[in-house]
Amino acid sequence: MPKHYRLPGKKKEGNAAKYMTRSQAVKYLQVSLSVFRQLCIHKGVFPREPKKKVKGNHHTYYHIKDILFLKHEPLLETLREIRVHEKKVKKAESKKNRNLAERLERHKPDYSLDRLVKERYPTFVDALRDLDDCLSMVHLFAALPAVEREHIEVDRIHKCRRLSHEWQAYISRTHKLRKTFISVKGIYYQAEVQGQIVTWLTPHALQQVLPSDVDYKIMLTFLKFYETQLELVNYKLYQSINVKYPPILDPRLEALAADLYGLTRYLDASARASLVESIDVRPSGSDQNEEQQEGTKLEEPELRLAQLQHNLSSSEPGSLMRLVDDVREEDEDDEETKECRNFFKGMKFFLSREVPRESLLFVIPAFGGMISWEGEGAPFPESDSSITHQIVDRPTQKRMFLSREYVQPQWIYDCINFRVILPTDEYLVGRVAPPHLSPFVDNEEEGHVPEYAETIKRLQAAARKEVLPLPGAGEDDLGDPQNLQGIIDRAEEIEAAEKKRKMAILQKQYLDELKMELESCQYHDHSDTSKLKDAEGPDAEDSLPNLKQIAEDAENMSKVLISRKKRKLLEAMEIGKDRKKAHIKLLKERKKKIDEAEKSG
């Protein structure tokens, strides 16, 4: 209860006064549980874990301030109004007043959540930080069928599709995509937007299963917030690259379900157009009238753009405008974005019919490649001789062009993840592709490095060396002071390395000697015992395991003095470590088995 109203006998402070259970909260807010749920979801209020659970362990506890926060939310009133409205409709229906019911249905009170988005994410970066769930949800719904029974409406699905495509188009256009991973669950993408790492999961582009044990109302409530959030984020992002939002798509492409491609083209075109305009405006800045005219023109660019973009982009991809545009943007970008932009530069990809088009349409342009596909609306046909790679996902390819390579789609994803153009021979049509590794795993930390990761590392190193100047080549230009400096440095380095090596040799010698000593000691022991002819024989034999024992003893002894709390912590840590070790051991054993099977087979 809030402070001003406290029932007699209620607590003033402590956990009993700070927290209330969910049913108490529902009663206090005078709403139904479903409305409370909606409120919580929209406001981002979650239960908390009080130190002392006054009402028992099986309750969900909310902080009193959270509940008050909900109480003062105007949305609460709107939700009540909706409930009242629903009652009106129901009444009209039961009185067979069809007209009234219909009219009421049309004018149902609605609410928008933009204010709540701002409230929950006061800065834009906050919103980006919390975008993972939002994107995953929107992408999931973009792939779901519309089901009347579950109130999944077609409009919502279309909106989700539109939003997800807009987001992808932005990422692709600004080359912010960093990592991709095809998993059994779907495709994971990771992008870096304004310094925030955003990861999302898109389901495979197939018919999705709608399980019956899922409460779609909850998901739709979440979706409502997420839609608003993503829309606002998209707006801001599009604004940042000077593109009008919401974008107007070429209806032809939209009809062909190539929305994403349409969007990218729109982005290209409008960015270019804005550049043209800005160039136009600058010289005419002195003339007030002309500027005004430009302004009026700006108001109706939508129609013009839709027509213009088609001509522009289809004419020649490497046109002058694009170059100018790219140069200007490159100054602003960081190293990684530059690398991503130029990763597939100069490569032309063609997708075969059976390849999942949507994902590749997103990924390849994000890394600077040109792309086309089999079907209508494609930018260039299969017979184009400048195509360098054709992406094929079938066991055999009958008709082949010699000028291009036929690779499996996994090749693209692997190349992107490891930022190196991998040799295509292992990914050719009909081959068993090498394992697809997760880019999100730190192999060293995990303890087990898959074989293919090592191969890739070698390739990466090789790729880097090619770019670096060879050390032997710099010898003839000694005159250059910078080079001289470099050489001096190098000489020093060599010296240091020599020293290190010597040290290492010495150390090794020392170790060897130690070992020798130990062995001789054992030998002595042995001789002593043999002389004594006593029953101490087994004692001498024990000396080898004794070393292990000593180590163990040292460990135990340090544990003797630890307080109980710390000892328990230590033990827990050890259990965790052991589990990890066991997992790695299992992996290594399996690997060994596989290798053996390969050798014998």
Partner 1 sequence: MLTNRLTMKTPKNKKQHKEEGPENINGTLRIIEQQLDQAADKYEDSSSDYDFEAVENEDVVSSDDGNDDDTRNNSKMDGGGSDDSREIIEESDSSEDEVAPRNTVGSVPLEWYKDEEHIGYNLAGKKIKKKERQNKLDSFLASADDSKSWRKIYDEYNDEEVELTKGDTKLIRRLLEGKAPHADFDPYQPYVEFFAWDDSKHPLSNAPEPKRRFIPSKWESKKVLELVRAFRMGRIKFDDKPKEESNLYDVWADDSSLAERQGLAHIPAPKFKLPGHEESFNPSGEYIPSQEEINALQLIPEEDRPKFIAQRFKSYRSVPAFDKAVSERFGRCLDLYLCPRARKKRINIDPETLKPKLPSRKDLKPYPTTCYLEYKGHKGPVISVTAESTGQWIASGSNDGSVRVWEVETGRCLRVWDIGEPVQQVVWNPLPELPLLAIAAGQDVFILKTGLESEEEQKKIEELLRIETPTAPDDSDKNASFITWGLDEKHGGIRLKHFKTVSSLEWHRKGDYLSTLMPHGESRSVLIHQLSKKLTQRIPYKLRGLPVSSAFHPNRSIFFISTKKDVRVFDLLKQKLLKKLEPGVREVSSIGIHPGGDNVIVGSKDGKLCWFDMDLSSHPYKVLKPHKKDISKVSFHHSYPLFSSCSDDCTAYVFHGKVYSDLNQNPLIVPLEILRGHASADGRGVLDCKFHPRQPWLFTAGADSVIRLYCH
Restricting to residues 471-500, name those near partner 1 by CB under 8 A.
none
Question: Scanning residues 57 to 86, which ones bind partner 1 (CB under 8 A)?
Answer: 60-61, 63, 65-66, 69
State yes or no: residue 455 binds partner 1 (CB under 8 A): no
Measured from the CB of residue 564, what is the shortest distance to partner 1 in angstroms? Answer: 8
* CB 276 within 8 Å of CB 284: no
Using the structure block, give the residue that is written with the tokens 């000694």: 478
Encoded tokens for 347? 């490569």
DSSP SS3 for 49: coil
Question: Scanning residues 145 to 184, which ones bind partner 1 (CB under 8 A)?
Answer: 181-184
Element holding 407 (H helix, E strand): strand 405-407
Measured from the CB of residue 475, what is the shortest distance to partner 1 in angstroms? Answer: 44
Measured from the CB of residue 89, what is the shortest distance to partner 1 in angstroms? Answer: 15
Measured from the CB of residue 114, what is the shortest distance to partner 1 in angstroms? Answer: 6
Of the ranges 113-121, 166-174, 503-511, 519-527, which one interacts with partner 1 (CB under 8 A)? Answer: 113-121
Cβ proximity to partner 1, 204 vs 322, nearer residue: 204
- Candidate residues 450, 463, 486, 522; the one interacting with partner 1 per rule CB under 8 A: 450
DSSP SS3 for 19: strand
Q: 380-398: buried (b, 16+ CB within 10 Å) or exposed (e) per residue?
A: bebebeebebbbbeeeeee
Q: Can you give 58-101 as a three-state secondary structure string?
A: CCCEEEHHHHHHHHCCHHHHHHHHHHHHHHHHHHHHHCCCHHHH
**Phi, psi for residue 63 in degrees, rounded to 5:** -75, 145
Task: Give the separation between CA 18 and CA 64, rounded to whole angstroms.
Answer: 5
State yes or no: residue 299 binds partner 1 (CB under 8 A): no
Cβ proximity to partner 1, 181 vs 367, nearer residue: 181
- Candidate residues 55, 236, 338, 526; the one interacting with partner 1 per rule CB under 8 A: 236
Measured from the CB of residue 251, what is the shortest distance to partner 1 in angstroms? Answer: 19
Task: Give the separation between CA 44 and CA 563, rounded to whole angstroms.
Answer: 42
Cβ proximity to partner 1, 60 vs 483, nearer residue: 60
Task: Give the separation between CA 242 and CA 170, rounded to whole angstroms.
Answer: 12
Task: Give the separation between CA 460 and CA 421, rounded to whole angstroms.
Answer: 9
* CB 257 within 8 Å of CB 277: no
Measured from the CB of residue 376, what is the shortest distance to partner 1 in angstroms? Answer: 22
Q: 258-283: buried (b, 16+ CB within 10 Å) or exposed (e) per residue?
A: bbbbbbbbbbbbbbbbbbeeeeeeee
- Candidate residues 27, 48, 508, 515; the one interacting with partner 1 per rule CB under 8 A: 48
DSSP 246: S
- Candidate residues 330, 499, 591, 596; the one interacting with partner 1 per rule CB under 8 A: 591
- Candidate residues 77, 81, 114, 376; the one interacting with partner 1 per rule CB under 8 A: 114
Cβ proximity to partner 1, 203 vs 301, nearer residue: 203
Measured from the CB of residue 401, what is the shortest distance to partner 1 in angstroms? Answer: 21
Cβ proximity to partner 1, 27 vs 591, nearer residue: 591
Question: Scanning residues 556 to 575, which ones bind partner 1 (CB under 8 A)?
Answer: 556-562, 564, 566-567, 569-570, 573-574
Using alpha carbons only, give the angle 561, 564, 567 rounded to the nearest 5 degrees: 75
Measured from the CB of residue 39, what is the shortest distance to partner 1 in angstroms? Answer: 10
Question: Scanning residues 373 to 432, which ones bind partner 1 (CB under 8 A)?
Answer: 393-394, 408-410, 432
- Candidate residues 86, 88, 196, 245; the one interacting with partner 1 per rule CB under 8 A: 245
Measured from the CB of residue 14, what is the shortest distance to partner 1 in angstroms? Answer: 17
State yes or no: residue 590 binds partner 1 (CB under 8 A): yes
Question: Scanning residues 7 to 46, which ones bind partner 1 (CB under 8 A)?
Answer: 37, 40-41, 44, 46
The site that binds partner 1 (CB under 8 A) totals a number of residues, namely 107
Question: Scanning residues 188 to 227, which ones bind partner 1 (CB under 8 A)?
Answer: 188, 199, 203-204, 206-211, 213-215, 218-219, 222
Question: Scanning residues 116 to 145, which ones bind partner 1 (CB under 8 A)?
Answer: 117-120, 122-124, 126-127, 129-130, 132-133, 136-137, 140, 144
Using the structure block, give the residue that is written with the tokens 């090789």: 462
The contacts of residue 246 (CB under 8 Å, 6+ apart) are 162, 166
Task: Give the separation between CA 26 and CA 20, rounded to whole angstroms.
Answer: 10
Question: Scanning residues 537 to 556, which ones bind partner 1 (CB under 8 A)?
Answer: 549, 553, 556
The contacts of residue 250 (CB under 8 Å, 6+ apart) are 262, 265, 266, 306, 309, 310
The contacts of residue 175 (CB under 8 Å, 6+ apart) are 333, 337, 340, 341, 366, 367, 368
Q: Is 246 left (phi over 0), alpha (psi -120 to 50) or beta?
A: beta
Measured from the CB of residue 569, what is the shortest distance to partner 1 in angstroms? Answer: 6
DSSP SS3 for 229: helix
Question: Scanning residues 350 to 369, which ones bind partner 1 (CB under 8 A)?
Answer: 354-356
- Candidate residues 23, 30, 32, 112; the one interacting with partner 1 per rule CB under 8 A: 112
Measured from the CB of residue 22, what is the shortest distance to partner 1 in angstroms? Answer: 9
Encoded tokens for 67? 């509940």
Full DSSP string of 558-588: HHHTS-HHHHHHHHHHHHHHHHHHHHHHHHH
Q: Identify any residues that bridge with 405 across adjacent strands, giving them in sequence order.
A: 389
- Candidate residues 24, 29, 47, 93; the one interacting with partner 1 per rule CB under 8 A: 47
- Candidate residues 14, 246, 285, 346; the one interacting with partner 1 per rule CB under 8 A: 246
Of the ranges 381-389, 503-511, 523-531, 589-597, which one interacts with partner 1 (CB under 8 A)? Answer: 589-597
Using the structure block, give the residue that is written with the tokens 């909310």: 62
